[in-house]
């Protein structure tokens, strides 16, 4: 039995955007087929483990905003009648308009279940609109950003009990009806790593486990999966050879890119090495946090160093995990040795977490979990501009910038332009003359004073007019 959700609202509030997000771009092509009616689009949506049919009423691009043509009204009423639940969108940036009120009236009269959502709610500019939405008398609005994928978790939370109730009611009154759930059901997850993952309730933390063959990647992922409830997957009874697996690991939704599972699918033995390298590259591009898994018996081999360096250059957060710790006899000496090798061989990752684990026994997995969260948090850190500029003054006093050819380089102002990884911009005179060593002094200072160990930090010098 499939639950049907209709997305309704006046033009331009973001219905299509939400539809596309729920259905995924592949299915959104449905109405590009000639002869398919264009005024109502239907698709199969996924949200976490929920699956439902979604109807989009955004077929009336030409409807002007200040009138609500009869056709729009009829269309909406038709959708409402077809649906079990209506998701009523308003534009939080525009606030509640008279046309929104008309829609609210239609819904109050015709639909048993209405979920109100204030879309375009990313950022503070939407706050007033969200508050206004309460005034529609349709309950608490969900803050959504269809474009940025925010609020999907709340949508899930609101839909789930209704879906359950609907399911029960359907079982009570009707025999199972055969519903055509379209061919996407059996889709192969292979080869789709470049596409966004299936819609999930909350954006999971993207983790890749990389390492040389036999480091223990499969064992590690199996251990994590074995001990934790599988939250969702593209299909029920997710298989080990999926490209990525979504899990709930100690309360943290994570999507783990599983290179080992892919490698094991390769039938031709000779292909193994090649494949695992390109898998590693793909995994690094996919990930927010890259776990470099080493074998304690042969740590920091060339291939390990290469992939760790690649992860740093790609701007990913890195965690070094040393596996097979259970067979290590002299743990203390070994750990000291590992830390020394790490500093010497991967200075660009200084301060990144290094944890020891046993994928086999499960020891140290809690440490690994925490290290992943820590690395991710640092990677996301944002330093307020005011603090940054106060800090810059101190740094300049402590160690004034050089004066090539007698002209002192002036650093005027600094701001954090991005996160993930942290990126900073300094406005200065003669950026081209700035020696590398001074940039390094600033980056090391940032790392230390704002507590950003082990994350790649980007510093851009920009000249002024
Ligand atoms: P529809 O007419 O209701 O189907 O609206 P569309 O989905 O076509 O969206 C109308 C416009 O709003 C487009 O330019 C979207 O890119 C934009 N939009 C949709 N969702 C969001 C959002 O969450 N935030 C912002 N800022 N813009 C959005
Ligand atoms: P992958 O190629 O990186 O996926 O490595 P596998 O997970 O297939 O593991 C390679 C071998 O190492 C297997 O024989 C595992 O049983 C073994 N192994 C994996 N993790 C551990 C561990 O923590 N301790 C020990 N002693 N052996 C392990």
Strand partners for 459: 424
SS3 317: strand
Pocket of ligand 1 (CB under 6 A): 9, 11-17, 58, 119-120, 122, 145-148
Q: Are 22 and 199 in contact (CB under 8 A)?
A: yes
Residue 32's pLDDT is 38
SS3 119: strand
8-state DSSP, 126: G
Nearest to 120 by CA among 201, 282, 196, 12: 12
Q: Is 56 annotated as a binding residue?
A: yes
* Low-confidence spans in the chain with pLDDT less than 70: 1-2, 25-39, 58-69, 71, 111-112, 165-202, 227-244, 258-280, 464-465
Q: Give CA–CA dist 59/62, Å, rounded.
A: 9
Distances (CA, A) of 328 to 54, 323, 350: 55, 10, 24
The structure's pTM equals 0.54
Residue 165's pLDDT is 67
For the segment 421-464, what is each residue's pLDDT rounded down to a tens digit?
999 988 888 888 899 999 999 999 999 899 898 899 999 898 86
CA of 131 to the centre of ligand 2 (A): 54
* H-run or E-run covering 281: helix 271-286
CA of 162 to the centre of ligand 2 (A): 44
- The ipTM estimated for the assembled molecules is 0.55
368 lines ligand 2 (CB under 6 A): no
The atom of ligand 1 lying closest to the CA of 11 is: 2
């Amino acid at each position: 039995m499939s639950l049907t959700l209709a997305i309704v609202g006046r033009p331009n509030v973001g219905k299509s955007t939400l539809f596309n997000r729920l259905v995924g771009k592949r299915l959104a092509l449905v109405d590009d087929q000639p002869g398919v009616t264009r005024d109502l689009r239907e698709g199969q949506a996924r949200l976490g483990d929920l699956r439902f049919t979604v109807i989009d009423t955004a077929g009336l691009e030409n409807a002007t905003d200040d009138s609500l043509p009869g056709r729009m009204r009829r269309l909406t009423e038709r959708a409402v009648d077809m649906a079990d639940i209506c998701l009523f969108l308003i534009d939080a940036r525009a606030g509640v308009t008279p046309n929104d009120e008309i829609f609210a009236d239609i819904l109050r009269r015709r639909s048993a279940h209405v979920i109100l959502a204030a879309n375009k709610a990313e950022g503070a500019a939407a706050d007033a609109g969200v508050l206004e939405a309460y005034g529609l008398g349709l309950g608490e609005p969900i803050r959504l950003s269809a474009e940025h994928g925010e609020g999907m978790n709340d949508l899930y939370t609101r839909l789930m009990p209704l879906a359950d109730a609907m399911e029960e009611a359907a079982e009570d009154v009707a025999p199972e009806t055969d519903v055509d759930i379209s061919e996407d059901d059996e889709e192969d997850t292979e080869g789709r790593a470049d596409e966004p993952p299936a819609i999930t309730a909350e954006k999971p933390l993207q983790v890749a486990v990389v390492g040389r063959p036999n480091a223990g990647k499969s064992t590690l992922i199996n251990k994590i999966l074995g001990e934790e409830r599988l939250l969702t997957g593209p299909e029920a009874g997710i298989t080990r050879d999926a490209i990525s697996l979504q899990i709930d690991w100690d309360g943290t939704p994570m999507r783990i890119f599983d290179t080992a599972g892919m490698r094991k699918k390769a039938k031709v033995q000779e292909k193994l090495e090649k494949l695992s390298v390109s898998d590693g590259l793909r995994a690094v591009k996919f990930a927010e946090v890259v776990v470099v898994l080493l074998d304690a018996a042969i740590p920091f081999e060339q291939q390990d160093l290469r992939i760790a360096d690649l992860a740093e250059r790609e701007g990913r957060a890195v965690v070094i995990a040393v596996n097979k710790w259970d067979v290590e006899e002299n743990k203390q000496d070994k750990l000291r040795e590992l830390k020394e090798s790490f500093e010497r061989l991967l200075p660009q990752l200084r301060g990144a977490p290094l944890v020891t684990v046993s994928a086999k026994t499960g020891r140290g997995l809690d440490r690994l979990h925490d290290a992943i969260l820590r690395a991710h948090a640092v990677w996301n850190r944002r330093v307020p501009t005011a603090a940054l500029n106060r800090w810059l003054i101190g740094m300049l006093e402590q160690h004034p910038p050089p004066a090539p050819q007698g002209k002192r380089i002036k650093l005027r102002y600094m701001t954090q332009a991005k996160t993930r990884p942290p990126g900073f911009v300094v406005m200065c005179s003669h950026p081209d003359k700035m020696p590398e060593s001074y940039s390094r002094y600033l980056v090391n200072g940032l790392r230390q004073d704002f507590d950003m160990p082990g994350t790649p930090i980007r510093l851009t010098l920009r000249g002024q007019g």
